[in-house]
Amino acid sequence: MSSPTPKSAYAAAGVDIDAQEKGLARVKKLAKSTFTPGVLTEIGSFGGLFRPELAGMAEPVLVASADGVGTKLVVARMAGDYSSVGRDLVNHCVNDILVQGAEPLFFMDYLGAGVLEPERMVELVSGVADGCRENGCALLGGETAEMPGFYQPGDYELVGFIVGLVDRPKVLDGSRVQAGDVLVGLPSSGLHTNGYSLARKVAFEKAGLAIGDKAPWDRKRTVGESLLEPHLSYLKAIRPLLGERTLHGMAHITGGGITDNLPRVLPEGTHALIRMGSWPVPELFHFLQETGEVESEEMLRVFNMGIGMILVVDPKGLAEILGLLRSVGQKSWLLGTVQPGGSGVVYDLGTESPQLPSS
């Protein structure tokens, strides 16, 4: 009679290397499906090698950013569905470098957990791979970490790192933004990846909703389906605009809302005048404000309120910019203008469309 195989001391401590390797073998195939011509290494190297195409660029500049999914992962865990949060992560990071005029080259991820379940690992990375393919960037590598005692069982942390490329003459850094510029808003798909701590408190504690209930703000979907709606990437819509001299700047509306993000591209001595009522605020945000008894000022700092990206445009080129957006099926609204003096964002409570300055 053979002796039982001794249990690994590491597995007894809570880290199963064999289970990780099974999941990683599938993850490598997912990553390889995103490879672009610039990738020079296979998944598994200590570092990923990438050779960018620099032809036609006067002064190539790399643009990098990092972000995480945040507490949207709690909603994913409640719903038992992690399939879309990887796409959230990639799209968020793509938008963060897009506002500076950069297109993505490659992406790297970090996945941490108390216990790494191979099937869940594959589900999470599948979403990342989907997002990379959709945005034309390679999933060059990443890291998985199983840390029992640091993360609790069932907890997952998903973080991403992106590198993109822009020609320096085409960098958007806000330096061309000036008083008189027009603010053009592009719609969000929902919460995107921000404000989930408050949204969860309102929906699940104050309203007493369950993850599988029909959403009061959208009776065609469940609460979970609505709250897990993926963060949009604006790369396809904005790519035709990159290099247009009348596009003076862009702001990705994430944590901090319009209030904190738009001023990041405004020059000193100017402020943004936003006309409330110039875009339709989705019912989800009305529900959160009314049910949670949240002040309007706080709503505008916590949530995107239905606007995921703001373009700052020279009024002389506004018609052309709007035409390019329409040509790719992108909805947009005129939100207001950049005004001289002051700082930050001022909200006009009028309901009429913003008055554009004469060119």
Q: What is the pLDDT of residues 216-263, one digit of tens each?
A: 999 999 999 999 999 999 999 999 999 999 999 999 999 999 999 999
Residue 327 has pLDDT above 80, yes or no: yes
Average per-residue pLDDT for the chain: 92
CA 251-256-257 angle, to 5 degrees, is 60
Residue 153 has pLDDT above 90, yes or no: no
Separation CA 310–CA 260 (nearest Å): 13
Residue 351 has pLDDT above 80, yes or no: no
Considering the domain boundaries, does residue 176 fall inside one? Answer: no
Residue 25 has pLDDT above 50, yes or no: yes
Considering the domain boundaries, does residue 2 fall inside one? Answer: no
At which residue do the structure tokens 């569905």 appear?
81
- DSSP 3-state assignment of 262? helix
Give the pLDDT mean for 30-52: 91
Quote the number of domains for the chain.
2
Domain holding 186, by residue range, is 182-348
CATH of the domain at 166: 3.30.1330.10
Whether this model's pTM surpasses 0.85: yes
Q: 170, 201, 229: which is the final residue of a domain?
A: 170
Residues 109 and 240 in one domain: no
What's the token pair of residue 224? 């979970």
Considering the domain boundaries, does residue 76 fall inside one? Answer: yes
Q: 170, 196, 221: which is the final residue of a domain?
A: 170
Q: What is the pLDDT of residues 43-87, one digit of tens each?
A: 878 899 999 999 999 999 999 999 999 999 999 999 999 999 999
Q: For residue 137, which of 160, 170, 169, 159 has the smallest C-alpha distance?
A: 160
Separation CA 123–CA 84 (nearest Å): 9
Give the pLDDT mean for 4-9: 62
Task: Give the pLDDT confidence score for residue 355 in this predicted structure.
Answer: 38
Q: For residue 333, which of 184, 128, 223 has the smallest C-alpha distance?
A: 184
Task: Give the pLDDT confidence score for residue 43 in this predicted structure.
Answer: 82
Separation CA 69–CA 57 (nearest Å): 33
CATH of the domain at 198: 3.90.650.10
Residues 103 and 160 in one domain: yes
Tell me the Cα Rg of the chain.
22
